[in-house]
Amino acid sequence: MSENRTTIVLDPTTGKEAAGFPGADRVASIEGKTVGLLDITKPRGDVFLDRLEELLVERGANVTRYAKPTFTKPAPVDLRHEIAANCDAVIEALAD
């Protein structure tokens, strides 16, 4: 199910104008879908993802876990491609 919406994303590196990006299409149901959980490796992000995984599995999702090598840099291109190729949806965790 697709909605017409635009998300405003602020780029903290430029300090100029906000850029508008169309939102990603959302899956109508997670039942039977593969949901990727991306841990950016900040402290306690895994705690959040552990609980989220439990809830998603209870609702019929297949869960695959991924982790960035470091939270200080974007996920490597090969990791992003792997997630895109294998997942119907992805959730990225940020926690401290």
Average pLDDT, 10 consecutive residues per value, the chain (96 residues): 65 63 81 95 88 96 95 92 95 75
The letter for the amino acid at 1 is M
What per-residue confidence (pLDDT) applies to 29? 92
Residue 24: closest CA among 86, 93, 94, 84: 84
Is residue 67 in a domain?
A: yes
What per-residue confidence (pLDDT) applies to 41? 87
Q: In Å, how far are 15, 51, 63, 78 from 45, measured between CA atoms?
A: 28, 10, 16, 22
Domain residues for 41? 26-93
Structural domain tally of the chain? Answer: 1
Helix (H) or strand (E) holding 22: strand 19-22
Q: What angle do CA 82, 88, 90 make, to 5 degrees?
A: 70
Is residue 46 in a domain?
A: yes
Is residue 17 in a domain?
A: no
What per-residue confidence (pLDDT) applies to 9? 66
What per-residue confidence (pLDDT) applies to 55? 97
CATH, residue 75: 3.40.50
Q: Rounded to an integer, what distance in angstroms lies between the CA atom of residue 16 and that of residue 35?
A: 34
